Amino acid sequence: MIASASRIPGRRVAHLIETDGPGGAERMLASLASELQTAGYPGVAFVPSRCEGWLESELAGVGVPIEYVPLDRPFSPRFARDLAAAFRRHHVALAHSHEFTMGFYGAWAARLARVPHVITMHGSRYYAGRWQRRLALRWAVASSVSVAAVSHALADSLRRDLWLRRGRVAVVPNGIRPRQATAAGLRGELGLGPGDRLLLSVGNLYPVKGHSDLVAAVARLAARFPSLHLAIAGRGELAAALRREARAQSIDERVHLLGLRDDVADLLASADAFVQPSRSEGLPLALLEAMFAGLPIVATRVGEIPAALADGAAGLLVDPGRPDELASAVERILGDAGLARSLGARARARAAAEFDIATMAARYESLYAPALNGGSH
């Protein structure tokens, strides 16, 4: 619960994002909107089109409506005008956009509707490579009352790429509401016995997530740990390639691609350790879920991960793109039960102290409050 929400009760917040699937930014938006709704900030979500309906389903459970405003071309003044009209119709007091596209259009629409605007950036890959997008995002930031990044590394990138002064970008790490496991059935699902060891990784199957490095690491450990298995929950373009890699390394029977799963808490309850092998990252929600679950963690030194894991005190850190380092760190955890328990306990304690959903929502409320109390953009 947000302690200061009573200062500005009932002010409607618009939540904007480009896609409605179960990605990290979408999950964060759903959690934030839910927490704010409970704390007295009624919300409404805006998405360009209904593709999967996952976000709509998540928000329906907490009473946050979603409206689809069509975006039919990359540059669309009409889309900005339609969003502004929707803001007025819903009596929006503040708009909060996520990522590049809605950050730009949300800022434009908020100016038209004369409401304050906040941007959260979850990564840099959607704007960093094109100078036109950098200029567009710089304009959006200049038109917004606050801009937040989910990691210090991303905040530094935004300042550098957009020529922003140091104090312009706030860092608001992601937070989650920990989910309780209802069953630990993954081991049975995979046909594993009590003597088998199971690593878990959660994330969409894209190159940036580093799953190929993890498969290579498991191959290095195959002889040392003949009962070691790897399960990866997520979907994406690399599924076939990962299967081929596992087959080429003769570990295809030990690598299990689970596809998209909504029972992550149950998956974590079945695992011996969690591995986050990303080559680039902000602050992945799956890592936070593993921390709350008290699992020993191996993760790469990218984005906010080192800070989340207290620079290695709450999880083992390795360099990205290094399967040999991944393998060595996993071997340490599998071979030292005391170390595994200690790392898991520290991770759980750190998650409870820093990455609870209420803590994240309170930080966003501190960004909202001055604009809402001021009454206008």
Give the residue among 312, 305, 318, 315 at the shortest CA–CA distance from 344: 315
Neighbours of 184 (CB within 10 A): 14
Let me know whether 346 and 362 are in one domain: no
Residue 377 pLDDT greater than 60, yes or no = no
Residues sharing a CB contact under 8 Å with residue 151, sequence separation 6 or more, in sequence order = 171, 173, 281, 282, 283, 303, 304, 307
Query: Are the C-beta atoms of 271 and 230 separated by less than 8 Å?
Result: no
Count the residues in the chain. Answer: 377
Let me know whether 365 and 331 are in one domain: no
Percent above pLDDT 70 for the chain: 96
Average model confidence (pLDDT) for the chain? 93
Q: Which residues are bridge partners to 16 per DSSP?
A: 46, 97
Helices (H), the chain: 24-38, 54-60, 77-89, 99-113, 131-142, 152-162, 186-189, 211-221, 239-248, 264-270, 285-292, 305-308, 323-335, 337-354, 357-374
pLDDT band at residue 180, thresholds of 50, 70 and 90? confident
Residue 83 pLDDT greater than 80, yes or no = yes
Alpha-carbon distance 19 to 227, whole Å? 40
pLDDT in tens, 194-224: 999 999 999 999 999 999 999 999 999 999 9
User: What are the tokens at 335?
Assistant: 């071979």
Let me know whether 212 and 257 are in one domain: yes
Comparing 79 with 11, which gets the higher pLDDT?
79
Range of the domain at 302: 186-354
Give the residue among 227, 221, 224 at the shortest CA–CA distance from 323: 221
pTM: 0.82
pLDDT band at residue 184, thresholds of 50, 70 and 90? confident
Per the structure, the count of domains in the chain is 2
Alpha-carbon distance 104 to 126, whole Å? 12
pLDDT band at residue 373, thresholds of 50, 70 and 90? confident
Taking residues 40-58, what's their average pLDDT?
94
Let me know whether 125 and 196 are in one domain: no
- Can you state the percent helix, strand and coil of the chain, rounding each to 5? 45, 15, 35
Residue 19 pLDDT greater than 80, yes or no = yes
Let me know whether 254 and 274 are in one domain: yes
Query: According to the model, what pLDDT value does residue 2 have?
Result: 39
**Amino acid letter, residue 80:** A
Strand arrangement of the beta sheet that strand 66-68 belongs to: 66-68, 43-47, 12-16, 92-98, 117-121, 146-149, 169-171
13: helix, strand or coil? strand
pLDDT in tens, 258-278: 999 989 999 999 999 999 999
Alpha-carbon distance 282 to 302, whole Å? 8
Residue 164 pLDDT greater than 70, yes or no = yes
Let me know whether 346 and 217 are in one domain: yes
Let me know whether 125 and 249 are in one domain: no
Let me know whether 59 and 203 are in one domain: no
- List b or e across 1-35, with b for residues whose CB sees 16 or more CB atoms inside 10 angstroms: ebeebeebeebbbbbbbbbbebbbbbbbbbbbbbb
Let me know whether 158 and 208 are in one domain: no
Comparing 127 with 25, which gets the higher pLDDT?
25
Residue 191 pLDDT greater than 80, yes or no = yes
Backbone angles phi, psi at 258, to 5 degrees: -90, -15
Residue 6 pLDDT greater than 50, yes or no = no
Residue 152 pLDDT greater than 50, yes or no = yes
Q: Which of 21-25, 155-159, 161-165, 187-191 has the lowest mean pLDDT?
A: 21-25
pLDDT in tens, 329-372: 999 999 999 999 999 999 999 999 999 999 999 999 999 999 98
Let me know whether 206 and 345 are in one domain: yes
User: What are the tokens at 187?
Assistant: 């081991």
pLDDT band at residue 1, thresholds of 50, 70 and 90? very low
- List b or e across 293-330, with b for residues whose CB sees 16 or more CB atoms inside 10 angstroms: bbbbbbbbbbbbbbebbeeeebbbbbebebbebbbbbb
Query: According to the model, what pLDDT value does residue 7 have?
Result: 44
CATH of the domain at 27: 3.40.50.2000
pLDDT in tens, 135-147: 999 999 999 999 9
Query: Are the C-beta atoms of 117 and 367 separated by less than 8 Å?
Result: no
Let me know whether 157 and 18 are in one domain: yes
Let me know whether 230 and 363 are in one domain: no
Residue 375 pLDDT greater than 80, yes or no = no
Alpha-carbon distance 72 to 370, whole Å? 35
Taking residues 16-25, what's their average pLDDT?
92
Give the residue among 90, 300, 118 at the shortest CA–CA distance from 309: 300
